[in-house]
């Protein structure tokens, strides 16, 4: 299994500012994903972080708002830009390491509150 860490674990931010969330994996992984989970709801995929190329964003999410970096096979960042209270959520990094995509693990999450 993959061990995933995220920083920060939580933060309280002011409207209009930006926050960068880091995701570190203890092994090289094929796919890294960024999810958002708002209170009481299921997970929503923001984007797939691709190593060496731009991230692939899901409908409703754009690069200007959620820029993503993936400089290598063990690390990725997600930035939440120009934050508003609607961005208050848990942000989760997830990786898949099985050859058949049958092993998917989550980081502990970053709890973001925007005032």
Partner 1 sequence: GQNIDQPTEMTATEGAIVQINCTYQTSGFNGLFWYQQHAGEAPTFLSYNVLDGLEEKGRFSSFLSRSKGYSYLLLKELQMKDSASYLCAALDSNYQLIWGAGTKLIIKP
Contact positions vs partner 1 (CB under 8 A): 31, 41-45, 90, 92, 96, 100-109, 111
Neighbouring-strand partners of residue 71: none
Q: Which helix (H) or strand (E) holds 11?
A: strand 10-13
| Nearest approach, Cβ of residue 83 and partner 1 (Å) | 21
- Whichever of 76 and 96 has its CB closer to partner 1, that residue is 96
| Nearest approach, Cβ of residue 109 and partner 1 (Å) | 5
For residue 55, the Cα-to-chain-centroid distance in whole angstroms is: 11
Residue 68 and residue 20: Cα distance in Å, rounded? 9
| Nearest approach, Cβ of residue 106 and partner 1 (Å) | 4
């Amino acid at each position: 299994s993959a061990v995933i860490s995220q920083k920060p674990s939580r933060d309280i931010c002011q409207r209009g500012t930006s926050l960068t969330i880091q995701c570190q994996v203890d092994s090289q992984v094929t796919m890294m994903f960024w999810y958002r989970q708002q209170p009481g709801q299921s997970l929503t995929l923001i984007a797939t972080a691709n190593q060496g190329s731009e991230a692939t964003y899901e409908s409703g999410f754009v690069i200007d708002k959620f820029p993503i970096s993936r400089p290598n096979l063990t690390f990725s960042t997600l930035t939440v830009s120009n934050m508003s209270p609607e961005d208050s959520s848990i942000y989760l990094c997830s990786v898949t390491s099985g050859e058949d995509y049958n092993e998917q693990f989550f980081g502990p999450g970053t709890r973001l509150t925007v005032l």
